[in-house]
Amino acid sequence: MPGLVAFGRRWEIGSDDLVLPCLVESFTRMLWFFVTVVIWMYHAPYLNCEDGQILQMYLGGVLFILIIILMANTFLIKHSMRGAIMDVRARKHVPTILYIRIILGVPEIAWTVVGSVGVFKPNDSCIHSEMTLRVVQGLVIFNWILVSFFLVGVMLVFDPLGHHYTSSQGTDTVDARSPLEVGFEQRTRIWEWRCKFLCCSCCACCSRSGDNTSVNDAFSDVAEVLTTLFHDLDLVPSDIAAGLLLLHLRTKRGREEVRLRRMSNQIRRPITEPPPVMRSHEAYDWMNPFTAHVYMKYALGSYGWMWYLAGGCWKGLCTLKKELVCFSCFRQMDDNCCHCNLAALKTVTQLEEKDIVCVSFHNSIYEVPYFVALDHQTSSVVVAIRGTLSGHDALTDLAAMTDPISVEGLPVGWTAHRGMLQSANFVLRQLESKEILKRTFMQYPNYHLVITGHSLGAGAAVLLSILLKPSYPKVRCFSFSPPGGLLSLAAARFTETFCMSVIIGDDLVPRLSLSTLDLLKRQMIAELEACRHPKYRIFLRGCWEVVFGRPGSYQQPETTHPLLSETPNNNLEQPPRFQSPSNRSCSVDVTQQLYLPGRILQVEEREPVDSGTYMHPTMYEARWMQREDYNQILVTPRMLKDHTPDSVCRVLQGLSAQYESSLSAVETHEG
């Protein structure tokens, strides 16, 4: 629903968002009411002097204010619970009650000031019980804590551009300019400030970068992308959370219908039969799970010690200890004095120090860590690029405009994700300026070039492969969980001959692009408009089902989920609830389609039909997919977990073992 309009401005909270905060506040104040009564009754004999009478008057005033506030909160909760999310008229009295509640905060603050003066005055008090005085002082301090929480809540829901949103209800004239149009430039500047804050201050970031202009341009690019995505969406954060929850329930419901339909048709496989990797005549022999797992270790090793310790602090410290070298002179940049990142790299990849040609942990906007190593088992020179691990990397991801790919000998007109193309160019400049690949291949002329990476590193690896393709025609690329909005269609098809992409489960990032985010936004609004339940019920029941599952009363496929409309709102061709201004200057086109690179291998953890009946290891199912299969974001609890490099490495390890056993079984059968 649109944000609450009060005091002539819009706030980042809806009129139906006050249920839970008011319930929590009412419970706290009710508890504090009884505590105050008990303390007053217990210490009343010690408050017979003049100062004690003042304190008794203060306590009586506190109890009276608590009763009035509890009554106001009751009315506020009652009216905030009315109507569905988009039914704003059902809650038309909420602003008026909210005004009354805020006015009641003024005497509360004034009375707390009076109590503070009376309890903490420097002169001697006639109250002889030290304990009584300390208890009353504690009451005053707690009242100040309640007031502070209220002020912090106001700051959290404050919209810096809320004054641009005006309500036209009750007026005969409407401003010709949309408030969204008026605030576009201001909102862009706010997003730019937030991006700079994410980098721990603009000065620190710029001081580490060689080109301050490019850094400032990056901030502007990211701010424009974020403003374009959210500027035409008049929803508060809780509306977005409710919409995502409804989309998750819709996705879960669809999957359960498919599963129950398969059970009813008795489409089953023996649990002992491992599903082989479904092959495609278009895939090359080296595009297999075993080879992918080998190079995924390099992509995982590029993340360094912080991610390595995240998998298990004590175990990680013990294994890293033997690789730590203090104040050594190794061929690397921007590591700490003990070379913790290098130690984690060697531990994960099991590389010897002599096989690491070059490593750089330098990180800034458009500048990603990478390393070059020798893999003697596969006779390859491996370039591994790190994925997203810092605020700089996040800004590189968000720089989602497109830039042309300029490579001599390749067709013109290809475009790619700006941030990742800049990162690939950074690695290319580093490799060329130090002649790393040239010197390495002079020493190992029979080796071939392999470029790999995960997430942001996957996108940069693909683009680096394209840039190096004229010089190294036999280059191969393994991209793990690559971003969806990476390449134009022609460039994506070009990479099918030398790039293998691996995607695990419901991974969000391969389905993430400006166009899919725009589609998700429209789907979310459609679900919110179709839902006839209040927001608090969506959160209570929806979160319960996400954690504990659904009751058995509506497990059949033909049964409609209580929180969902009977049929999903598929009218997604209609524009969003609020349109972006058409006359503003913006270089971001959310309708432009960018695609995944290479041949795409989708890997799923296989769930048996009767999981409780059999003792079995985890099984995996892999199949070759088309890039058009990833044109929609799946909202599931695993959408982030399936993207982590640990999950990708674990699944590939299990799949490669299953793949080898399948090949062995085939060879034994043929023999």
- Annotated catalytic residues are 455, 507
Closest CA to 626 of 463, 449, 492, 460: 492
Note whether 70 and 100 are within 8 A (CB): no
Residues contacting residue 84 through CB under 8 Å, at least 6 positions apart: 90, 531, 532, 533, 534
Helices 391-398 + 456-468 axis angle, to 10: 60
Give me 9's structure tokens. 């401005």
Query: Whats the size of the chain, residue-wise?
Result: 671
Note whether 490 and 414 are within 8 A (CB): yes
Note whether 369 and 362 are within 8 A (CB): yes
Note whether 369 and 436 are within 8 A (CB): no
Query: Can you list the alpha helix ranges (DSSP code H) found in 350-455?
Result: 391-398, 418-433, 436-443
With residue 207 as reference, give the H or E element that holds it: helix 202-208
CA 182 to chain centre: 29
Beta bridge partners of 415: 404
Query: Residue 157: exposed, middle, or buried by beta-carbon count in 10 A (0-12, 13-18, 19+)?
Result: middle
Helices 514-530 + 237-264 axis angle, to 10: 90
Neighbours of 313 (CB within 10 A): 10
Give me 651's structure tokens. 């699944």
With residue 213 as reference, give the H or E element that holds it: helix 212-230
Give me 55's structure tokens. 């304190």
Residues contacting residue 621 through CB under 8 Å, at least 6 positions apart: 275, 603, 604, 606
- Rounded CA separation 395/398 (Å): 5
Give me 214's structure tokens. 């490019």
